[in-house]
């Protein structure tokens, strides 16, 4: 998509998918964290105007609605720190947030603190977060630029120093694969985003693997910044342009909730959104069942490698940390594999403590074996 110049622009289908993902994550995120903390913060470094040209809400307004809902049922406060580089868009954002806030009760409004700032994402965002004492406390940061690379590693590192920070970053690989090999300036902006030069190996990759290589390099960048668990969600627009949303957290619960959000947007695979006009998407739409075939195979390999078997609880943690799948998908798969005599479960009923081992067929009685051979 060309970078828009007007204050508002049209929302494309993959932005709608991104908003859906954000909403599905923030709706559980806010109440879970409010149940244990007095104040939590949501921040954006590229907030946008809060509105699209056909009247759809922008990400800060979607977040506000999720937070207003959470504050109706929980005590505590939510702070929103929103940075936008374009003055006209920041003014529109203020207006949209004011309007959205007006629909909620005085009690909710009193506990929902809104701060918008016009400035460059870096360093304005960090300065504001410091000034308002948000670092070191629960903080979710959306860095949703047009795809960059325009988020410096130094910003990620500052955010990643704090255990309770989570980030969701938009990353677009095309620009670097197309222009950075021959342009030193673009290569340097890549170095600033990745915090090093290891990503230059993308120039040696076969064309088909360049995007996934950069995606994995970016996940590694988030890990180096301190976000021990990362997930990606791929979005492809109608012209086949790829954009990744990359999530980083140190918390298994955050990882689990983000996976649930991703699987609610992509019910088949949990990792991508393709524009309905994209040809490949039309083929994918034929797959009606969630595709858990690969998880079945991965679990079986994992079980076979553990001589004493593994509990269902351990298999769920494995699925959460090492695969794209959700822990909640494990129980049904183990039950199906038990019924198909692929694994044995002790006790038979599948609960967290059930131990799973590969199924071994009982040796056949010798008479029976002979009979089979004879006929
Ligand atoms: C992709 S849009 C954000 C959309 C918004 N997150 C949403 O989903 O509704 C990116 C926004 O970042 C702003 N922007 C671009 N460069 C910026 C920078 N360096 N610092 C802060 N904002 C910037 C643009 O003006 C634009 O409004």
Are 239 and 313 members of one domain?
A: no
Q: State how many domains the chain has.
A: 2
Beta carbon of 46 within 6 Å of any ligand 1 atom: yes
Q: Give the distance (Å) from ligand 1 centre to CA of residue 174.
A: 18
The sheet carrying 165-171 orders its strands as 112-118, 77-84, 39-44, 139-143, 165-171, 242-249, 229-236, 272-274
Closest Cα to atom 27 of ligand 1: 48
Give the structural domain span for 353: 293-358
Beta carbon of 85 within 6 Å of any ligand 1 atom: yes
Task: Please enumerate in sequence order all residues whose Cβ is within 8 A of that of 188, keeping only pairs 6 or more positions apart, or say none.
Answer: none
Identify whether the C-beta of residue 138 lies closer than 8 Å to the C-beta of residue 164. Answer: yes
pLDDT string in tens for the chain (375-residue length): 678 999 999 999 889 999 999 999 999 999 999 999 999 999 999 999 999 999 999 999 999 999 999 999 999 999 999 999 999 999 999 999 999 999 999 999 999 999 999 999 999 999 999 999 999 999 999 999 997 789 999 999 999 999 999 999 999 999 888 888 888 889 999 999 999 999 999 999 999 899 999 999 999 999 999 999 999 999 987 777 889 999 999 999 999 999 999 999 988 777 788 765 554 544 444 444 567 878 898 899 899 988 899 999 999 999 998 888 889 999 999 999 999 999 999 999 999 999 999 998 776 655 544 433 333
Final residue belonging to a domain, choices 249, 266, 284: 284
Report d(CA 156, CA 134) in Å as an integer: 15
For residue 31, give Cα distances in angstroms to 13, 242, 257, 344, 372. 28, 33, 12, 39, 63
Residue 190 phi, psi (nearest 5): -65, -45
Which CATH number characterizes residue 44's domain? Answer: 3.40.50.150
- Stated as kind and residue range, the H or E segment containing 243 is strand 242-249
Are 121 and 201 members of one domain?
A: yes
CA 45, 32, 295, 227 torsion-angle sign: positive
Mutational pocket test of ligand 1: of 3, 48, 80, 94, the residue with most ligand atoms within 8 Å of the beta carbon: 48
């Amino acid at each position: 998509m060309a970078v828009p110049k007007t204050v508002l622009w049209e929302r494309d289908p993959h932005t709608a998918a991104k908003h859906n993902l954000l909403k599905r994550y923030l709706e559980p995120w806010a109440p879970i964290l409010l149940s244990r903390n007095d104040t939590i913060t949501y921040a954006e470094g590229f907030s946008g105007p809060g509105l699209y040209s056909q009247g759809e809400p922008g990400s800060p307004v979607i977040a506000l609605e999720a937070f207003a809902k959470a504050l109706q049922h929980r005590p505590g406060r939510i702070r929103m720190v929103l940075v936008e580089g374009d003055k006209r868009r920041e003014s529109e954002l203020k207006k949209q947030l004011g309007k959205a806030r007006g629909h909620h009760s005085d009690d909710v409004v009193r506990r929902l603190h809104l701060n918008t700032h016009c400035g460059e994402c870096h360093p304005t965002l960090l300065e504001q977060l410091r000034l308002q004492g948000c670092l070191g406390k629960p903080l979710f940061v959306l860095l949703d630029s047009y795809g960059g690379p325009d988020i410096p590693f130094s910003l990620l590192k500052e955010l990643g120093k704090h255990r309770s920070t989570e980030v969701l970053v938009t990353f677009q690989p095309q620009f670097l694969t197309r222009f950075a090999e021959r342009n030193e300036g673009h290569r340097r902006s890549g170095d600033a985003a990745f915090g090093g030069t290891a990503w230059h190996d993308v120039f040696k990759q076969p064309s088909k693997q360049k995007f996934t290589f950069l995606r994995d390099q970016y996940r590694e960048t988030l890990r180096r910044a301190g976000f021990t668990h990362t997930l990606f969600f791929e979005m492809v627009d109608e012209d086949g342009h790829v954009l990744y949303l990359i999530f980083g957290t140190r918390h298994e619960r955050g990882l689990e909730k983000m996976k649930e959000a991703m699987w609610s947007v992509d019910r088949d695979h949990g990792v991508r959104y393709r524009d309905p006009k994209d040809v490949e998407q039309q083929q994918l739409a034929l797959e009606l069942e969630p595709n858990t075939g690969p998880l079945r195979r991965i679990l079986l390999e994992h079980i076979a490698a553990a001589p004493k078997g593994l509990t269902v609880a351990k298999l769920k943690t494995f699925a959460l940390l090492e695969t794209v799948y959700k822990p909640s998908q494990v129980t049904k798969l183990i039950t199906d594999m038990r019924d198909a005599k692929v694994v044995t479960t002790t006790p038979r009923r599948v609960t967290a403590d059930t131990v799973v081992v590969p199924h071994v067929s009982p040796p056949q009685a010798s008479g029976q074996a002979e009979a089979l051979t004879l006929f």
